[in-house]
A = this chain, B = another copy of it.
């Protein structure tokens, strides 16, 4: 059960259900659309290591070359494709994956090194700017792609070259003589190495991830007993006032969550995607080392503190994070404007995906419905919204209030195209977020985090367990469960998340005493054996939600179930000021009517 990117395969969404329809759009439309975009923009062929005209264009976000992330765009698409190909074979997609893998293999240096920019544009400068460049970030996504590829194709065509690259990285980075004591400006490789470790069982992979995590922000980590990024910038001959566009001031290492070591960070700061990817890795490291290990005791308080600061003071009602545009990240506590014309609401799609990733990791450390509530909130309101109904247009910025100066619109692609393939891969392994299960001999535990018409199927030592949810979620709060065991009896426990937003809920037939722990209803082996069919009902009434008073936002939100509703121009007469001065009379009853396409 360790990774949703693996256990998603045990879940089948019911055909025609809410998420099955979304995933089908991704499989049939998005993968193809994004493949075209990869081809059209030069990304597809980039691993051939020829010059592309765009390499000569000055960076839009100085000092990062626009093509710096191309490796990861391709990698995320491969990863997403490998998850979705399981739904039904697709020769064109499969062919493209194979061709890309061939090109990736062909781009590898004899020593294992693998990166488009540093092979074509700045050969000889590899690993000289970990702070700004995305070599290790790209490497992380290549690892994740290779893992998905390995899983689907059941060969090592991609994993094998990537392992060779990882070997090079493990030799290059570390605190030993001759090694570089640095760490990536954009975390990602840490969580990828930990996933890789699950498959490889290679201690070097675990150790490299842990080195990157523990060394991060060390004020005396460099060869000159300074911050590593100081040494590195000096070696590049850079003035400290030569500012990357995302730095509001010199040495803004908080942008990279590297201003101080992670364990000393009191508030969540900087680039929100980086923060989420980093903390996801930290949580995974805690899980692997165990929460009560030295590593766990060291990092758990920090990660809980940073999570709380984020959720309580730096998150939008939709679960979106990162108000500030300049550094694509967190503002000061309670600074949560609704539109860019009010000074914020960047709320990048990838950041919300990152919140889901972190929440899922946290659930494995501690089964607490708070994490699943946030995960569900992000899924419906900040991630799902990142893709159009036809699966061919995407958001990067997710304002809650569009303005005439900066109208919220989806786009078919972006120069920095992290978000579109991130949505693809997230929906690809979405089943892995629904529930987690552990099996030991004839004993099994299933924790149900999200509700959707779907079936979970897994084996115990002698039997096969099939659990089906049937529901109209998110439009209706009734969920019918059906448990089938094929073979000898299984000691099965099921724990159901009780959503925080449910004003009331019940289970039928009644289990008598309700054993609710940290927001999960624990259903016992005995009760489940007596009641293999049961229903969870959560009331879904329209609710008026207010932001924290210190956000100074004089608004209310209308929510129902997991969904935060939105007033849109497309449904209403054009508003010059985009609804800024519209008032809602709370004397009226807010009623809902059945959704047409439930």
| Residues of A that sit less than 8 Å from B by CB | 62-63, 239, 241-245, 248-250, 326, 331-335, 337, 341-343, 549-550, 552-554, 580-581
Query: A250 — nearest CB in chain B belongs to which residue?
Result: B62
Please determine whether A335 and B342 come into contact, CB atoms closer than 8 angstroms.
yes
Which chain B residue has the least Cβ–Cβ distance from A62?
Answer: B241
When chains A and B are docked, how far (Å) is the Cα of A248 from the Cα of B324? Answer: 13
Supplied contacts A242-B243, A337-B552, A554-B554, 8 more A-B pairs, CB within 8 Å: A243-B243, A331-B343, A332-B341, A333-B341, A334-B342, A335-B342, A549-B581, A550-B581
Binding site secondary structure of chain A: loop
B580 adjacent to A550 (CB under 8 Å): yes
B245 touches A242 (CB 8 A): no
- What CA separation (Å) do A342 and B333 show in the bound complex? 8
Sort A-B residue pairs by CB-CB distance and give the 5 closest, nearest first. Answer: A243-B243, A241-B242, A335-B343, A554-B554, A552-B552
Q: Which residues of B contact A244 (CB under 8 A)?
A: 241
State whether A248 touches B250 (Cβ < 8 A).
no
A554 and B549 CA atoms in complex are apart in Å by 9
Residue in contact with A241 in the complex, picked from B243, B331, B341, CB distance below 8 Å: B243
In the bound complex, how far is the Cα of B233 from the Cα of A259, in angstroms? 31
In Å, the complex CA distance between A249 and B334 comes to 25
Is A248 in contact with B554, judged by CB distance below 8 angstroms?
A: no
Residues of B within 8 A of A337 (CB): 552
Contact A241 B63 (CB under 8 A): yes
Report the separation of the CA atoms of residues A248 and B63 in the bound assembly, to the nearest whole angstrom.
15
Q: Which residue of B lies closest to A240 (CB)?
A: B62
**Cα–Cα, bound, A343→B323 (Å):** 12
A581 / chain B contacts, CB cutoff of 8 Å: 549-550
- Chain B nearest CB, measured from A531 CB (Å): 48
Task: Report whether B250 and A552 are in contact in the complex, using a CB–CB cutoff of 8 Å.
Answer: no
CB distance from A160 to the nearest CB of B (A): 41
A552-B553 in contact given A241-B62, A242-B241, A335-B343 (Cβ < 8 Å): yes
Q: Which B residues are CB-close (under 8 A) to A326? A: 248
A581–B334 alpha-carbon span in the complex (Å): 14
Contacting residues, chain B, for A63 (C-beta < 8 A): 241
The smallest C-beta distance from A92 to any residue of chain B, in angstroms, reads: 43
Q: Which of A331, A342, A549 has the most CB of B within 10 A?
A: A342
Closest to A239 in B: B242
Distance, CA A239 to CA B550, complexed state (A): 41
Closest to A333 in B: B341
Distance between Cα atoms of A343 and B335 in the complex (Å): 7
10 contacts between A and B (CB under 8 A): A241-B243, A245-B249, A248-B248, A331-B343, A342-B552, A343-B343, A549-B581, A550-B580, A552-B552, A552-B553
How many angstroms between the C-alpha atoms of A331 and B250 in the bound complex?
22
Bound CA span A342–B313, Å? 12
Q: Which residues of B contact A239 (CB under 8 A)?
A: 239, 242
Which chain B residue has the least Cβ–Cβ distance from A344? Answer: B343
Task: Report how far A554 CA is from B335 CA in the complex, Å.
Answer: 14
Contacts of A335 in B (CB 8 A): 342-343
Q: CA–CA, A331 to B337, complex, Å?
A: 14
- The CA-CA distance from A581 to B552 in the complex, in Å, is 11
Say how far A250's CB is from chain B's closest CB, in angstroms.
Answer: 7
The CA of A142 and the CA of B471, in the complex, are separated in Å by 79
Distance, CA A598 to CA B30, complexed state (A): 75
Chain B residues with Cβ below 8 Å from A62 are 241, 250
A241–B61 alpha-carbon span in the complex (Å)? 11
Which one, B248, B249, B332, B554, contacts A343 given CB within 8 A?
B332
